């Protein structure tokens, strides 16, 4: 079963989920935080599953009726007192519970007073019940969990290419309109990044920490190697290995492929279909040498590449000829020079107006 279809019961039975709830292991925490970003509609089920696990994992402490009444009176008094105070209370997120609450807050806006009352009530209840549990079962109290991971987001805007050196010494070359997201400093056992767009990776060798790039439903794993990945939103995914060895795997599936230099993977944007092949290194890596290559490419697709390459918007003033394909190789050329070169074979006029490019195709002459 795909984890995207999980019910509350499935979460409770999942071993990786239990590792996150009970041990707050780094790999499990990173996985489920990424899962909640992709599936915000499952956060409520995750919260219920966590509650079930916590309640099932420990024996109920015997609290007298007098103690229960005093407990709830203290909670009520504290809520009223906090409601009357003008100052704000800061709650520092620490474990899986706070992580779940953080993602819930991103999905809905709650009033400040309602949020404060709920946070205070939960903290007081957990603290008071924890006191009784500690008094009765001190050996079952886990150590304080680590703070939530700090995430880094590195982005190259349209028309700009960037080079980034990561904390482990690996280098990432970002193409225009691309970004990578990863945990600052990585973890003790894993170097995990999420890519949107295209990037070339030079991975520093670390046999104890695999380097994994997540692109949609595919993950590419390496220890020390160099490879290119193209995964722009709405487009197919292309993975091309230059040096070393990588393992490409599909989420929620046992399908995997090991790549050697010169080999690549072509996958649909949803990764439902994929194939292993050889790739043209000049075509794949041309963007790193400031070289733009069109090889019998539909004009509409070529215009999208020009938009991303130069950070402009292409506006067509009439219909693109349906059979129009373009070819050409442009090394570190200006937008104007590229458009001039394409205009001769594609028969169009153009105007560059700041960040807008207007293109008008000429009518074919009538044949007498």
Query: Of 54-58, 77-81, 131-135, which gets the smallest average pLDDT?
Result: 131-135
Res 244 pLDDT > 70: yes
- Which residues partner with 192 through β-bridges? 212
- Within 10 Å of residue 42's Cβ, how many Cβ atoms? 20
Q: What pLDDT is recorded for position 66?
A: 63
pLDDT of residue 241: 94
Closest to 215 (Cα-Cα) out of 246, 240, 251, 162: 251
The pLDDT confidence band at residue 7, using thresholds 50, 70 and 90, is confident
Instruction: Give the distance from CA 296 to its chain's centroid.
Output: 33
E strands along 120-270, which residues?
Answer: 151-156, 162-165, 171-174, 178-183, 191-202, 211-215, 218-222, 226-231, 237-243, 246-250, 256-259, 263-267
Q: Which residue has the higher pLDDT, 98 or 265?
A: 265
CA distances 9 to 1, 55, 58, 60, 272, Å, are: 13, 14, 18, 22, 27
- Asked if residue 146 has pLDDT above 50, the reply is yes
pLDDT at 132 over 60: no
Q: How confident is the model at residue 4 (pLDDT cuts 50, 70, 90)?
A: confident
The pLDDT, as a whole number, for residue 184 is 84
**Measuring CA to CA, which residue among 151, 188, 235 is closest to residue 27?**
188
Separation between Cα atoms, residue 283 and residue 306, nearest integer Å: 16
Cross-strand bridge partners of residue 356: 313, 353
pLDDT of 242 reads 93
Which of the four pLDDT bands, split at 50, 70 and 90, describes residue 48? confident
Q: What are 272-292's pLDDT values in tens digits?
A: 888 999 999 888 999 998 999
> Other C-beta atoms within 10 Å of 352: how many?
14
Tokens 């996150």: give the residue.
Answer: 20
Question: Above pLDDT 70, what percent of the chain?
Answer: 73
**CA 138/CA 123 separation, integer angstroms:** 19
Report residue 164 as tokens: 């980034």
For 106-127, what is each residue's pLDDT tens digit?
Answer: 665 444 545 555 555 555 555 5
Region of 26 (left: φ > 0; alpha: ψ -120 to 50; beta: rest) is: alpha
Q: What is the pLDDT of residues 300-330, one digit of tens each?
A: 999 999 999 999 999 999 999 888 999 999 9
Is residue 168 over pLDDT 50?
yes
* Measured torsion, CA atoms of residues 123, 128, 130, 133, in degrees rounded to the nearest 10: -160
pTM score, two decimals? 0.57
pLDDT for res 89:
36
Segment 169-174 mean pLDDT: 92
- Total residue length of the chain: 368
Q: What is the average pLDDT across 230-237? A: 90
Tell me if 222 sits within 8 A of 210, measured CB to CB. yes
Question: Is the separation of the CB atoms in 40 and 107 below 8 Å?
Answer: yes
Contact 237, 267 (CB under 8 A): yes
Mean pLDDT of the residues in the chain: 79
Supply the pLDDT for residue 101.
60
């Amino acid at each position: 079963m795909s984890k995207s279809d999980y019910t509350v019961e499935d979460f409770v039975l999942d071993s990786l989920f239990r590792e996150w709830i009970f041990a707050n292991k780094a790999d499990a925490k990173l996985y489920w935080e990424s899962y909640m970003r992709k599936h915000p509609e499952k956060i409520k089920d995750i919260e219920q599953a966590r509650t079930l696990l916590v309640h099932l994992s420990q024996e109920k402490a015997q609290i007298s009726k007098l103690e229960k009444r005093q407990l709830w009176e203290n909670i009520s008094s504290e809520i009223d007192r906090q409601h009357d105070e003008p100052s704000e209370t800061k709650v520092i997120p620490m474990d899986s519970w706070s992580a779940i609450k953080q993602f819930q807050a991103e999905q809905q806006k709650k009033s400040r007073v309602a949020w404060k009352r709920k946070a205070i009530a939960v903290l007081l209840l957990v603290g008071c019940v924890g006191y009784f549990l500690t008094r009765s079962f001190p050996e079952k109290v886990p150590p304080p969990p680590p703070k939530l991971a700090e995430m880094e987001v590195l982005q190259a805007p349209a028309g700009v290419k960037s080079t980034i050196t990561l904390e482990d010494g690996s280098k990432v070359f970002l193409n225009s309109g691309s970004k990578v997201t990863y945990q600052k400093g990585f973890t003790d056992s894993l170097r995990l990044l999420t890519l949107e767009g295209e990037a070339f990776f030079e991975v520093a060798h670390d046999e104890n920490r695999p380097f994994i790039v997540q692109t949609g439903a595919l993950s590419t794993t390496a220890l020390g190697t160099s490879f290119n990945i193209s995964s722009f939103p709405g487009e197919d995914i292309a993975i091309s290995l230059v040096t070393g060895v990588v393992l490409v795997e599909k989420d929620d599936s046992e399908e995997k492929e090991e790549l050697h230099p010169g080999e690549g993977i072509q996958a649909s944007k949803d990764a439902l279909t994929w194939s292993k092949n050889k790739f043209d290194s000049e075509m794949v890596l041309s963007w790193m040498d400031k070289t733009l290559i069109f090889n019998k490419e539909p004009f509409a697709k070529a215009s999208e590449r020009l938009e991303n390459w130069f950070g402009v918007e292409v506006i067509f003033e009439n219909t693109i000829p349906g059979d129009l394909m373009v070819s050409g190789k442009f090394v570190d050329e200006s937008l104007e020079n590229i458009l001039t070169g394409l205009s001769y074979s594609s028969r169009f006029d153009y105007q560059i107006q700041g960040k807008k490019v207007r293109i008008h195709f000429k009518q074919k002459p009538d044949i007498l």
